[in-house]
Amino acid sequence: MTSPPERATSRHSPARAANTLPQHSGGAGSDEVVELGDLGPWRPRLVATDLDGTLLTRHGTVSDRTRAAIDASWAAGVPVVGVTGRGPRLLDSVRTALGGRGIGVLAQGGFVVAFGDTPAEDEVLRTVGLPRDEAQAVIDAIEAVTGELVLAVEDAATQSEALSPLRVQHGFDWPYPEPADLLPRHDVLPAGPVLKVFLRSETLGQDELLALARSVIDPSTAEVTHAGLGFIEVLPPGITKASGLAVALERFGVPMSDVLVFGDMPNDLPMITAVGEAGGRSVAVANAHPAVLAAATDRTSGHDVDGVARYLEALQA
């Protein structure tokens, strides 16, 4: 008889409240104020923004100033779409951050939902999983160049369950206080598809780990990225924040060229690049990863001093 998985304790605390997002530690530039000056005549028809490290403070909250700027955008007829790496198990927290309006793009683009007046009226516009054997093949290929890694998994079969536990290998050191089943390595991958695989190295930093993974994994096989949390993520092929945002734009009838997008980490680069190349405007917060600062067409203040709100206010003035 198989013993039930060990439920996380201490390090992996019980579930946080469903309407809060995990804390995102403030990094360099998080409290830097950027003088914006004249932003020119261009105005967006839609705002898309990352959440952790961009829209939210380091405490995972939406400040009063940011909430007011979001409300003003909606009042002006400009929808605000949240585009996040958070999985659908955290949908309630994403709904709260966005004020329960519009569309949420979750799981790096793999799960897209149009919010209804009540959760029961939500409409799922996209959900994509990576078959188990394909996920295993990607893990094997990456470990061939990185050495043994520690993994965690979001099971696609339970993705619609609020705060459903992650499947986490002993030793992963998952950073957030949410439900997690601690499992031996051979039990971490479920029998069916996965929404995401998280891979952590005990010796390699996240940028180096990502570079090695991309050297052996073609995007036609899987997408690999990182969100600044110390590990990389493996996603189904074609699943990026850009492709997820495209689903939202189709629903709103807005082209990429009319989008204003905000981000901070490499997982935001696909949408930052797509919007910039289409002629829209991409903005990096001051605390952004160097690659995002280099790719964005503009820059705003850090996430702990309402960088997104300051930029929206300047456009709304």
Pinpoint the alpha helices (H) of 147-205: 185-188
Beta strands 80-83 and 46-49 are parallel
Window from 12-21, 206-215, 295-304 with minimum mean pLDDT: 12-21
Q: 178: pLDDT confidence band, cut at 50, 70 and 90? A: confident
pLDDT at 158 over 80: no
Q: pLDDT tens digit string along 229-244?
A: 899 999 999 999 999 9
Which pLDDT does position 260 carry in this prediction? 98
Average pLDDT over residues 79-108: 94
What whole-number distance in Å separates Cα of residue 45 and Cα of residue 174?
38
Average pLDDT over residues 292-304: 97
Q: pLDDT tens digit string along 78-87?
A: 999 999 999 8
pLDDT at 11 over 60: no
Q: Calculate the average pLDDT of the chain.
A: 90
Q: Is 154 exposed, middle or buried (0-12, 13-18, 19+ CB in 10 A)?
A: buried
pLDDT at 152 over 80: yes
Which pLDDT does position 25 carry in this prediction? 52
Q: pLDDT tens digit string along 19-62?
A: 344 445 556 899 999 999 899 999 999 999 999 999 999 999 99
Window from 159-168, 201-210, 245-254, 287-296 with minimum mean pLDDT: 159-168
What ranges make up the beta strands (E) of the chain?
6-7, 46-49, 80-83, 103-106, 111-114, 123-127, 150-155, 166-169, 180-183, 194-200, 223-226, 232-235, 259-263, 281-285, 298-300
Which pLDDT does position 179 carry in this prediction? 79
pLDDT at 10 over 60: no
Average pLDDT over residues 253-262: 98
pLDDT at 204 over 60: yes
Q: Spell out the residues 6+ positions from residue 49 whose beta carbon is closer than 8 angstroms to its own.
A: 55, 80, 81, 82, 83, 261, 262, 263, 308
Which pLDDT does position 28 carry in this prediction? 83
Q: 9: pLDDT confidence band, cut at 50, 70 and 90? A: very low
Q: pLDDT tens digit string along 59-74?
A: 999 999 999 999 999 9
